[in-house]
């Protein structure tokens, strides 16, 4: 996305806080993974790793907006990326969008990863869980932090963004050994870190939490739940979390999506 010139447009919100944004770029990574790029200097400057956005598509057959994690941030151009996988009718509609089309976006929402915490950092990404770390890596590199990324997927074909990631310390794992080391991403966990930030499938997150349960490492997980509003009104994303009052149902969109691993209650 670098090297483009985008005209400055007034960003106006509707009554529910959504801003209509024009798609200024699109990339199809493979048949079911896409990136859409939007020009919004205001949002681009406000987004942090772990934030999410609610996106409303007027052409989608579904009525509700859907949550998406942003990908890369191009601050010089005021452009941010939405990276997503086609998993249903809503994302099918988004995958058909073209440059020049408009989607309505609400955000940034949720609580991001606490990248400012001191210590050695391990980022753990499983599959499309790479998305929030695409913005975290440049921040950590610029601040000269001690960090690394452990990135796993089923096959080499589903390990996306490798050219972008070439500038950062990354260890790869694939289930079939077609790129990097053979095995699950959780097979590469290290005890020699102070902070862990993880995003990926639920089972992966649970195993990460279990691995560090009795260690002094601070672990933060980005949880994924179906959301109807993204603002805490519908309670559609509630799940069990430990609080000062015991185990309670909390809204992932409001209290999360990033939680300390020790607070998350896993289904048996």
Q: What pLDDT does residue 17 have?
A: 84
Confirm whether 9 is domain-assigned: no
- Pick the last residue of a domain from 56, 83, 108: 108
Q: What percent of the chain has pLDDT over 70?
A: 94
**CB neighbour list of residue 165: distance below 8 Å, 6 or more residues apart:** 137, 149, 151
Least confident stretch, 37-41, 44-48, 225-229: 225-229
Least confident stretch, 15-19, 45-49, 193-197, 199-203: 15-19
Convert the pLDDT of each residue in 31-40 to its tens digit. Answer: 799 999 999 9
**CB neighbour list of residue 175: distance below 8 Å, 6 or more residues apart:** 152, 153, 154, 155, 182, 183, 184
User: Are residues 88 and 147 part of one domain?
Assistant: no
Q: What pLDDT does residue 3 have?
A: 41
Range of the domain at 85: 19-108
User: Are residues 147 and 63 part of one domain?
Assistant: no
Q: pTM score, two decimals?
A: 0.92
- What CATH code is carried by the domain that includes residue 204? 3.40.50.80
User: Are residues 256 and 127 part of one domain?
Assistant: yes
Q: What is the mean pLDDT of the chain?
A: 91
Tokens of 93: 């509609």
Least confident stretch, 153-162, 190-199, 259-268: 259-268
DSSP the chain: -TT-----------TTS-EEEEEEEEEEEETTEEEEEEE-HHHHHH--TT-EEEEE-TT-S-SS-EEEEEEEEETTTTEEEEEEE--SHHHHHHHT--TT-EEEEEEEESB---TTS-S-EEEEEEGGGGTTHHHHHHHHHHTT--EEEEEEESSGGG---HHHHTTS-EEEEETTSSSSEES-GGGG--SS-SEEEEES-HHHHHHHHHHTTTSS-EEEEE-----SSSSSSS-TTEEEEEETTEEEEEEHHHH-BEEEGGGBPPP-
Convert the pLDDT of each residue in 56-115 to its tens digit. Answer: 998 888 777 889 999 999 999 999 999 999 998 989 999 999 999 999 999 999 999 999
């Amino acid at each position: 996305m670098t090297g483009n010139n985008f005209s400055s447009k007034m960003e106006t919100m509707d009554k529910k806080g959504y801003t209509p944004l024009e798609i200024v770029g699109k990339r199809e990574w493979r048949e079911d993974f896409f990136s859409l790029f939007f020009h919004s200097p205001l949002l681009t400057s406000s987004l942090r790793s772990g934030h999410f956005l609610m996106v409303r598509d007027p052409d989608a057959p579904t009525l509700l907006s859907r949550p998406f994690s942003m990908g890369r941030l191009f601050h010089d151009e005021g452009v941010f990326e939405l990276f997503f996988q086609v998993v249903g009718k809503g994302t099918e509609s988004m995958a058909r969008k073209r440059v020049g089309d408009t989607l309505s976006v609400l955000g940034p929402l949720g609580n991001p990863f606490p990248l400012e915490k001191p210590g050695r950092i391990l980022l753990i990404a499983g599959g499309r869980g790479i998305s929030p770390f695409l913005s975290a890596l440049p921040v950590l590199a610029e601040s000269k932090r001690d960090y690394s990324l452990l990135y796993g997927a089923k096959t080499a074909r589903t390990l996306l963004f490798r050219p972008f990631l070439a500038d950062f310390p990354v260890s790869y794992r694939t289930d079939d050994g077609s790129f990097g080391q053979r095995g699950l991403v959780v097979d590469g966990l290290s005890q020699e870190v102070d902070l862990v930030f993880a995003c990926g499938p639920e089972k992966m997150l649970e195993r990460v939490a279990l691995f560090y349960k009795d260690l002094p490492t601070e672990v933060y997980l980005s949880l994924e739940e179906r959301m109807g509003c993204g603002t805490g009104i519908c309670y559609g994303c509630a799940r069990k979390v430990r609080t000062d009052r015991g185990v309670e149902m909390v809204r992932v969109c409001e209290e999360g999506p990033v939680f300390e691993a020790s607070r998350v209650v896993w289904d048996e």
